A = this chain, B = another copy of it.
Amino acid sequence: MRKAAIIGVGQTPVGEHWDASIRMIAADAVHAALEDAGLKSVDALYVGNAYGASFSSQSQLGALIADYSGLGGVETFTVEAGDASGGAALRTGYLAVASGAVETALVLGVEKSTDTVSTAHTRARNVSLDADYEAVQGATLTALAALVMRRYMHEYGVDLSAFENFSINAHANGGKNANAMYRNQIKPGAFARAPMISEPVSLFDSAPDADGAAAVIITSGERAGDLVPRPVEILGSAAASDTLALAERADLLDLSAVRASVYRAFQQAGVTHRDIDLFELHDAFTILSALTLEAAGFAERGQGWKLAKDGQIGLAGELPLCTFGGLKSRGNPVGATGVYQAVEAALQLRGAAGANQVADARIALIQNIGGFGSTAITHILSV
């Protein structure tokens, strides 16, 4: 298997792009990545998108976006794994280049979530839950997260304050990111007083759905060095799954897919926890962050929240998390989120993260999750 590296990145601001259609924001990210890499074209376009059919009545995005962004004719298709769609597209691009079948691939994540609003939005988004056993009962991802969070609080005897630093950190970082959706700061104590969405998940606890598109260009490790001064190597790539329905799980507080995919990515990359300089994790809810840190082996069971509590997750901490604001502050352009993570990690590793820079960042862990841990896709990037 040959090496593969990221040689170009692009992104649109994350937010509510009422004036643009899905193909338009997609093309913006494609063009930005091509310009960044100094390329005019690529050999393949893999699109990560979760809800095109249900939000925008639009599937077959590959051919649509290839044509609209001037890549017409190129190999292309869409990759979907709920909210982990961007990560799955990244894995596809990696496999295509690593195989030798594709020389240069553009991986695009795109979501136009504001095409539907209100209950229609909830219904459209619920397609990634178990339709027969969860969505039909009125469950939403937020409601499921609330069930798990309550269980965690009960099991480990913690209150809401245990979780607030995840959100405070996200907004502290997002406030310095010009592409972030919400750049306001969250004051200590405000988290526990925030309006409830699905108790105990509050407004300050759940990441906002958004519009956005992000792109990375991958080529062989050999060619990458000839094209750009600082290619970002993909050291590890792995995916794993768990049940869609929470009711099917033996242990609600164990994210087995997170555990498995991190383990495999570490194995492939030949790195371990102390090598990781930053972790772009999937902070759709603070409970998901806490459980991710535990399943990924950065904290003991029931102790994930303490990493945030102890202030280790800031840009200058032991394990910086969500360095550009994460899903919570940068925003969650759902099927694009996994590619935003890759863009942000690449900027860190290039030393091009500006005010968000983690000093001496050499190895980054990124993880994109679909459902409440149903699909977990992990990559390790390095310079």
Name the distance in Å between A346's Cβ and chain B's nearest Cβ. Answer: 21
- Asked whether A78 lies within 8 Å of B80 as measured between CB atoms, the reply is yes
Name the distance in Å between A1's Cβ and chain B's nearest Cβ. Answer: 4
- Asked whether B374 lies within 8 Å of A63 as measured between CB atoms, the reply is yes
- Asked whether A80 lies within 8 Å of B60 as measured between CB atoms, the reply is yes
A135 at interface (Cβ–Cβ under 8 A)?
Answer: yes
- Asked whether A81 lies within 8 Å of B82 as measured between CB atoms, the reply is no
- Asked whether B59 lies within 8 Å of A257 as measured between CB atoms, the reply is no
- Asked whether B242 lies within 8 Å of A56 as measured between CB atoms, the reply is no
Could you say which residues of chain B place their CB within 8 Å of the CB of A138?
none
- Asked whether A63 lies within 8 Å of B81 as measured between CB atoms, the reply is yes
Name the distance in Å between A41's Cβ and chain B's nearest Cβ. Answer: 13
- Size of the A side of the interface (Cβ < 8 Å), in residues, is 70
Copies of this chain assembled into the complex: 2
- Asked whether B99 lies within 8 Å of A1 as measured between CB atoms, the reply is yes
A299 at interface (Cβ–Cβ under 8 A)?
Answer: no
- Asked whether B128 lies within 8 Å of A60 as measured between CB atoms, the reply is yes
Name the distance in Å between A365's Cβ and chain B's nearest Cβ. Answer: 18
How distant is the Cα of A57 from the Cα of B244 in the complex, in angstroms? 14
A240 at interface (Cβ–Cβ under 8 A)?
Answer: yes
Could you say which residues of chain B place their CB within 8 Å of the CB of A66?
241
25 pairs of residues in contact across A and B, judged by CB atoms under 8 Å? A44-B239, A53-B127, A54-B54, A54-B57, A56-B131, A57-B127, A57-B135, A58-B132, A60-B127, A60-B370, A60-B371, A60-B375, A63-B243, A63-B257, A63-B371, A67-B242, A73-B260, A76-B375, A77-B79, A77-B377, A78-B81, A79-B80, A80-B80, A95-B101, A98-B99
- Name A's B-contacting residues (CB within 8 A): 1, 21, 23, 44, 50-54, 56-60, 62-64, 66-67, 72-82, 84-85, 88, 91-92, 94-96, 98-102, 123, 126-132, 135, 237-244, 248, 256-257, 260-261, 370-371, 374-375, 377
